[in-house]
Amino acid sequence: MRFIERSFKVNTTRRNEFIDITQEVEKIIKFSTVEIGDVIVYCPHTTAAITLNENADPDVVHDLLHTLEKLIPHKDSSYLHGEGNSDAHLKSSLVGVSEQILIKDGEMQLGRWQGIYFCEFDGPRGRDVIVQVRGE
């Protein structure tokens, strides 16, 4: 059983933004030399998230962000949290802070159109992503 953990920084540039981090995760898997196992991609933040979704048509990311914004508005007179970023906390919990992806033959078993996204909901900021690879 092999196990490695690596982290990297993501510098976001907008309040709400998805950043494709697939290549960074691929590099860590190559470095691990794990052939069969899994990888966990995790962000230790309360106003950001990790998700898998389409990386071919950028309109998909636009539509996801647009719909999250519509469902969970930035300002709401019922919010109590004094930082003014309750929407970002909600989106983080809704989307989730990690993804687990299977590895076979040294490659992530991503679908043809799937990419891994870091989801910023309260940027711009410097963020951390932690990646753990386990397997043989």
Q: Is 119 helix (H, G, I), strand (E, B) or coil?
A: strand
Among all residues, whose Cβ is closest to Zn ion? 83
Closest approach, Cβ 47 to Zn ion, in A, equals 6
Q: Tell which residue, 89, 93, 97, 104, has the closest CA to residue 118.
A: 97
Of 132, 134, 130, give the one whose Cα is nearest residue 43. 130
Exposed (0-12), middle (13-18) or buried (19+): which is 47, by Cβ within 10 Å?
buried
Complex with Zn ion: residue 51 or 85, whichever CB lies closer: 85
| 67 to 96: interface string for Zn ion, x by CB under 5 A | ----------------x-x-----------
Cβ distance to Zn ion smaller for residue 24 or 122:
122
Binding mask 32-71 for Zn ion (x = CB under 5 A): ----------------------------------------
CA distance 42 to 95: 12
Nearer of residues 57 and 83 to Zn ion, judged by Cβ: 83
Number of residues in contact with Zn ion under rule CB under 5 A: 2
> Quick one: 68 or 108, whose CB is closer to Zn ion?
68
13: left (phi > 0), else alpha (psi -120 to 50), else beta? Answer: alpha
List contacts with Zn ion (CB under 5 A): 83, 85
